[in-house]
Amino acid sequence: MKGPFESATQAKRLPAIAPRRRRPRVLLAEDDQQMRVFLAEVLMQEGYHVTLCENGWELLAQLSSFIVGGQGHQDIDVVVSDIRMPGVSGLEVLEGGNENREFPPMILITAFGDLDTHATALQFGAAAILDKPFDVDDLLRELQAVAPPP
């Protein structure tokens, strides 16, 4: 009687276990609580790890290591930010971080999206800009392009 591993040939037949990719980390900045909670729930259901910011100051604090240098920023794969928020705007954060090549891609959302705002956002390196109200599927497509879920 043979044991559970009868031969090397049988061991080769076992399926390889692929290492599990970590969930992409999204930093979500939105001052409207209902919108923030809704988007966070959608993103988590799609496999993203979500960190929330209620205003521009919190967003800036989370991204400060990218802007001034330092450690700790490897935990953010993509930023989804409202443009107009109390404190610092999402556009100002993008402008401050666009000189750092390690700065995470930013997807901006806004209820005040005119052509100048879109042009400025793209000039500063926004991965995308979506006008509210937007289809959540559009946001998911943009996210998948820069940080696909596992």
Q: Is the pLDDT of residue 126 over 90?
A: yes
Nearest CA-CA partner of 60 in 73, 44, 77: 73
Q: Report the percentage of the chain scoring pLDDT > 90.
A: 65
Structural domains in the chain, sorted by start:
22-143 (3.40.50.2300)
Q: How confident is the model at residue 14 (pLDDT cuts 50, 70, 90)?
A: low
Q: What is the pLDDT of residue 74?
A: 60
- Chain segment 134-143, per-residue pLDDT in tens: 999 999 999 9
Query: Stretch 67-84: mean pLDDT, rounded?
Result: 79
Q: Which long-range contacts (CB under 8 A, 24 or more apart) does 113-118 make?
A: 113/83, 117/83, 117/91
Q: Which two tokens stand for residue 123?
A: 């000039």
Query: Stretch 22-38: mean pLDDT, rounded?
Result: 95
Contacts of 25 (CB under 8 A, 6+ apart): 48, 49, 50, 51, 75, 76, 77, 78
Which of 75-79, 94-98, 125-129 comes out lowest in average pLDDT?
94-98
Nearest CA-CA partner of 76 in 56, 51, 57, 113: 51
Q: What is the pLDDT of residue 6?
A: 43
> Helices 136-146 and 33-45 sit at what angle, rounded to 10 degrees?
60
Q: How confident is the model at residue 16 (pLDDT cuts 50, 70, 90)?
A: low
Q: What is the pLDDT of residue 82?
A: 97
Contacts of 57 (CB under 8 A, 6+ apart): 86, 87, 88
